[in-house]
Structures are given as C-alpha cells and as structure tokens.
Structure 1
Amino acid sequence: MKILSMTTATNHLSVAISEDNKLIAEKNEEDQRNHSEHLDPMISQILKDNNLTLNDIDRFAVAQGPGSYTGLRIGITTAKMFSSILNKELVGVSTLAALAQGVQADGVIVAELDARNKNFFAGIYVKENGEVKNLVEDGHYHLDELIKKAKQVASVHKLIFVGSDIDKYRQEISDLLGNDNFMQAKDVNQVSAKNIGLLALDAQPMDPDEMIPKYLRRTQAELDWHKKTGKAYGPDSDYVEEV
C-alpha cells in the first residue's frame, strides 16, 4: 500500500511517501509559516522525484490535530480533496502520536505542544514492540495537571518529553514530579510525515466528508459565539451565522 502523508499542524511542513512500512521519500520545510503556498508544490515535487502520480497513491494520511488552527485546516482540506476526487482512502493521525512514534528511547513519552501560559496540548504514550500506545488521552492540560497524570502512569519509568522544548519549565517539572527522572527527546521534536505514514498503515479509513480538525480546545470563534448567544456549545454548523 502506497501512502502519501502530510503534516501542516505546526510551523514544520512535512510530506512523505511510503509503501507499507518502508519510507520511499520525505520532504521537510521548517518555520516558513506559509504552508498554504508550499504544500501543493512540495507534494507535486516528491511525486515527480519518485516517478509517481496522485493516482498511484492508495491512502492519504494527515495530521488531524492538535496544532495550529489554520495549519490543520490547510493539511486536512488538501488530504480530503485528494481522497474525495480520486476515491482513495483517507486517514487522520494524532499529531501527538506522530511525535511519540519518533522517540526511540525507553520510557513513558509525554508528547506535547506548548499552548502558552503553562498550558499544553499533550498526550502520554508508551512504545511496546515498536507500537505506540496511548496511556493518557490527547487533551489541553495545564502543566500541573499534565505532570500529575504523568506521575500516575509513569511509576519508576523515565519521562521523555517530545515536541516543544520544556527547558524553561525544568525546575517546575522537577518540583511537581519530586525527582529529576525526565528528559527532552533529541532530534525528533518536529512532527514528521514519515511517522504519520507509519501510524496510518493500520488505521481505520474514514469518510472525507466527516473528517474535521481535532483542535482539543474551543476556537476563539466558538468562544465569541457562546458569549454572544449564551447558548450551549453544539455541532460545528451551529457557529455559522446565516446572512
């Protein structure tokens, strides 16, 4: 099975082609912040470099969230369009699971993206026989809550943080843990399309029309809508005002 995987969830743009669990090629671009302009040309180039076309792809995979609201929409819209037009399979992959997949060291993995003000998009994982397993579901956590959950599942295992640099929180994490049994992962702190492809291999395909970003917290539009109307939060369609 040939898989074209992509991530626009962070400032790191990544596209990869794999066949089953073997990587064919990967292209990466960091900190350009214009994924909308670069994603399609990058896809075209990686296909051309490997003498492939979109029709040769069996499954499209994309980082479904969490991440940048705008970034997620770019990647998901592109993957949905390809899947729908070409009638090919579509898979959404957790951004945090993809980060965890890249870690090779032994330990309990805290995959996280800094959401500011000591808040994180995070999930806690462990790798067993090369397979990533979720121990604490992806969510939006304050640092105190995240470390509390990590202590509950880590026991004596070393905690490995992957994603955003946690150096500025090092002393606070040490105090909350009650020890220094944690580390920052090395060289794998960007979301990689090749890891999305690996996770997508055994994932369940979904209807392109039903795929939506997993933001893991309310968008500003939702918060404004709730404040304006006083209504309870509902389906996405409720936040579109008719004109």
Structure 2
Amino acid sequence: MKPDVKQSGDSSVTLLSFDTSTATLAVAIVRNGVVMDSAVTLTERNHSVRIISEIKNLLIRNGLQASDLDAISVGQGPGSYTGVRIAVTVAKTLAWTWNKPLIGVSSLEALAFGAWKALKQNDEDMAIDRDTWIIPLMDARRGQVYTSRYAAGYPDKWDTIDQDGIRLIADWSLRMEEKATLENQVAAIWFVGEIAPHKATIEQAEQSGARLRTYAYEMDAGAVGLLAELKYRQGQQNDVHSFVPNYTQLAEAEAKLLAASRGE
C-alpha cells in the first residue's frame, strides 16, 4: 500500500507533527509554511499516556480529520531513549493506519530551527552580513550533550555544518569558539535548548567577550513540521517499515549488555 501523496499541482500541504525526545511533549499542525496550532506539555516519563490524546485534541480543536492531512512528521531523535521510541512508534502507526507519507526530522535540528526563529522574532542582535551559528543542546548527563551545528543567516540561510552526535560540552564549546575565531565570519554562537546544566561551562569557554551566547528553549513541534514540509515538497519521505529512531548512542543498559557479550 503506497502512501496517499498529493499531486504536485496541489500546492496546499497540511502536516501533523510531534516530538517526544525531551521532557516536553510537543504537537503541532503546520500548513503551507505556517504553524496553525500547537501544544506543549511537560510530561516527562509520561509521553506514552498523553501523546494520543494530545494529538486527538489538536485535530478536534482545528476541525481536522486524518483525510485532511498530507503527511505525518516526527522528531526522530536523538534525545531521551524512551521518548524518541514513543514518538517514532506513534508516527509509524498513524502513517500506516492513515496511509500517509512519513517524514522524519532530526530532533536537534528542529530544536535549533525553532530557537533561531524565536531569536529573530525577539529582535535579538543578528548580523546581516555574517553567519550565526546555532548549537542545539540536549543534556546527556556526565558533562555530555546531544548536539549539532547549523549556520543561519539572512534572509533564509539554514545549513548543516556538524551532524547529530554526543559530545563533551566543555570540549565542544571550546571547539566552537576556536573555530569561529579562525574563520572570522561568525557574528555569534548561540547555544540553545537545555542550557541550564551547561551554562557555566559554556561561559568558561568564552574568549572573545561576546560571541558565545545561551538561550533556553523548549522543543517546538511547529519547527518539526516546517522542516518536514520542505522535505515533503522536495518529494522526500521515509519508508514506514524501515524507519527507526536515531538514538545516536546506545542506551546505557543496552551498551552494558553489548559490552558483556563481548567479554569487555
């Protein structure tokens, strides 16, 4: 059974998007590059109980049924091992049941993209002639973070520089400062997302006096949908059966089990 995909002549696109990679359960409806409605709930360790009801409430509130949707978009991770698995499972189930294309988006990219949009709306001091680096952070404990790096600029520049990975925040922040100094084309470096556990470490890496900045930001499913819409319009989608979460690293219990099987 092939997903129900609109013909290219129909330019209107409506997506249901959601993400559970962090403590935040985020759901949204995106249509034609606009976030029509969204909801954010702090439900850490309770995503599996709330996600279906939150999706249902969002659709009812906007008078939508499955037939009105063109695709299902989901944050694929990395992030919370259990959280990412929940979102991906629900997305696959809905895409298969409703016969809709499935589009996975990096949860880190969505975190970064949403923060970038918020920073611009807040009239933060952004350079027009130089790039701004957006560095999303999700706490991975023990001084580690899930992170990546994006170059943003006016009017609509958005490029991936470093792929998703788990890194030591002390080394990562120093590396970002050093690279920006060498390139000399970076106006500012914004560390966004789960900032609180790592703010002091980031501040210690500051050398230029004003380049490293922090911005606490919660996951926004609207950003997931906006990124997914770009993929949808380019004809990109994921195979429902082979689609899996991007954990970036094995869960601790799984890693220990693998090590034991190797006699490590």
| TM-score category, normalised to shorter length | 0.7 to 0.9
Would the alpha carbon gap of residues 174 and 42 (structure 1) be closer, same or farther in structure 2, given more than 3 Å must change?
Answer: closer
Tell me, yes or no, if structure 1 residue 219 matches structure 2 residue 251.
yes
| Residue segments in structure 1 that go unaligned for 5+ positions in a row | 233-243
Partner of residue 136 from structure 1, selected from 162, 165, 170: 162
1:20-63: CA deviation from partner (whole Å, max 9, x where unpaired)? 20222111112453111111011111111111112211110111
1:123-161: CA deviation from partner (whole Å, max 9, x where unpaired)? 111223334321111100012331244135433421111
Paired position in structure 2 for 1:124: 149
Residue 208 of structure 2 aligns to which amino acid in structure 1?
A: N
Cα deviation for residue 212 of structure 1 reads 0.9
Tell me, yes or no, if structure 1 residue 44 matches structure 2 residue 44.
no
Residue 111 of structure 1 aligns to which amino acid in structure 2?
A: P
Paired position in structure 2 for 1:190: 218
Would the alpha carbon gap of residues 210 and 168 (structure 1) be closer, same or farther in structure 2, given more than 3 Å must change?
Answer: closer
SS at match of 1:201: helix
Cα deviation for residue 168 of structure 1 reads 4.9
Equivalent pair of 2:26/2:220 in contact (CA under 8 Å): yes
Would the alpha carbon gap of residues 111 and 46 (structure 1) be closer, same or farther in structure 2, given more than 3 Å must change?
Answer: same
Separation (CA, whole Å) in 1 of partners of 2:104 and 2:69: 16
CA RMSD between the two structures: 2.0
Residue 256 of structure 2 aligns to which amino acid in structure 1?
A: D
Paired position in structure 2 for 1:14: 26
Task: Report the number of matched residues.
Answer: 229
Separation (CA, whole Å) in 2 of partners of 1:49 and 1:57: 14
Q: TM-score by structure 2 length?
A: 0.80
Paired position in structure 2 for 1:57: 69
Paired position in structure 2 for 1:86: 98
Separation (CA, whole Å) in 2 of partners of 1:168 and 1:225: 30
Separation (CA, whole Å) in 2 of partners of 1:231 and 1:207: 36
Paired position in structure 1 for 2:78: 66
Partner of residue 114 from structure 1, selected from 125, 139, 143: 139
Identity %: 29
| Residue segments in structure 2 that go unaligned for 5+ positions in a row | 1-12, 127-131
Find runs of 4+ consecutive structure 1 residues off by over 6 angstroms: none
1:45-86: CA deviation from partner (whole Å, max 9, x where unpaired)? 111111111221111011101111111111110010111122
SS at match of 1:194: helix
Partner of residue 208 from structure 2, selected from 163, 168, 179: 179
SS at match of 1:109: strand
Separation (CA, whole Å) in 1 of partners of 2:173 and 2:80: 23
Separation (CA, whole Å) in 1 of partners of 2:23 and 2:229: 25
Would the alpha carbon gap of residues 222 and 231 (structure 1) be closer, same or farther in structure 2, given more than 3 Å must change?
Answer: farther
Residue 260 of structure 2 aligns to which amino acid in structure 1?
A: K
Cα deviation for residue 100 of structure 1 reads 1.2
